[in-house]
Structures are given as C-alpha cells and as structure tokens.
Amino acid sequence: MPESNPETHVIDFRAAEHLLDARDPRGAVKLLDSVIAAHPENTAARLLRARAFFASAQLRPAELEFELVLEREPDNAFAHYALARTFERAGRPEAAMRHFRLAAALDPKPEYLKAARFDAGD
C-alpha cells in the first residue's frame, strides 16, 4: 500500500474531481474518504464529497456533508443551494425552500433566484 502524504491527497482530490465530472461519483467518494480521514478540516474535500454523495443518490450522507460545510462556511451560497436540492430530492420542500432562499440572498445567481422563487418571471 502506498504511503499517505499531502501530495497523494492532492492527487486524490483532483482525481475525485475528474471522476465526478466523468459521472463516477462512487469512485470520487472512495478517493475522498482517505483525503478527509487525513484532513477532516478540509472544507473543499467535504464539499466535493457532498456533491458526489448527491450525484450517487446517497441523500442522507450528502445532507450531513453539506450541513458540515455550512457550519464552517455559513455564507457559502452554493452549499445552501446544493443542500436545498438534496432536501428537494428527499421530499422535504420546506427545508429545501429555506436553503434556496438563503442561497439566493447570498448570491443572486439566476438559478438560485428561480429556485427561491425570487426571479421576475414568477
């Protein structure tokens, strides 16, 4: 087994990004598990793992990771939006709307505004 070091973790993180882009979220989670075990404070790795959980329909683990990211970065609009999408997919529309609105308030991107029903078209 190769020795674990910071360079290996960076390589694993980048490889996980590529796996997620290539629609292999479970492979991405597997790589990120070791990165997060070595660096539990790494919010970027946790956000990427949350996205991978979501993409693989592991909604409860995705929810937990997005919530952990938001504990550390409460002004992360993307994390609010992604958590809202997770709640929406899990059939929890009230929780979803709360985070859609927080995302839109933090960053008025058109997709955030539309999800929060703040856009001019509604």
* The two structure tokens encoding residue 32: 């990120």
CA atoms of 16 and 46, how far apart (whole Å): 12
* Nearest residue to 112 via CA among 68, 72, 80, 64: 80
User: pTM for the complete prediction?
Assistant: 0.90
Residue type at 3? E
CA atoms of 67 and 79, how far apart (whole Å): 8
3-class secondary structure, 70? helix
Query: Average pLDDT for residues 80-109, to the nearest whole number?
Result: 98
* pLDDT tens track for 37-69: 999 999 999 999 999 999 999 999 999 999 999
